[in-house]
Amino acid sequence: MPGIDECLLEAMTLPGARGAAIVDWTSGLALGSVGDSPNKDHEATAAETAEVARSAAEYRAFVESHDGFPGEAPPDERLPVEDLLLSTRNGFHVIRFVETSFDSSVFLYLWLDRDTGNLALARIRLRDLSERLVLM
């Protein structure tokens, strides 16, 4: 089971990977980062992607209705969002939420080159990494 550093290095083996980070979306702090950053500042990127992740995780617009009550939390208390995909003119940004046995607020962030990146493969691999990641 990979830790933070191993997880990030494995993410960087994906075709087109330009940068990766593990971020706490509550604080906006990067627990680890590797490669490049879209704005040349890993900490600023962590804070900015945390804002996007927090919005998706906390706002009820992305929650399916249950028992006829729009915006009601799912019965199993898991986050309603698995991952977020943002496309820009030059790249793809993938945010994958990490589910843990404790109240986790961590996600994997991957920046892919638009021309050489494989978005489908990135989603599959990030899902696998998020399931195997060991946080202590």
pLDDT for 70 beyond 60: no
Tell me the average pLDDT of the chain.
86
Q: What angle do CA 103, 109, 114 make, to 5 degrees?
A: 155
Q: In what order do the strands lie in the sheet with 29-35?
A: 29-35, 17-24, 106-113, 91-98, 83-87
Range 36-44 average pLDDT: 94
At 15 the pLDDT is 96
| pTM, entire model | 0.85
pLDDT tens sequence across 81-105: 889 999 999 999 999 999 876 767 8
pLDDT band, very low/low/confident/very high, at 1 (cuts 50, 70, 90): low
Greater confidence (120 vs 57) lies with 120
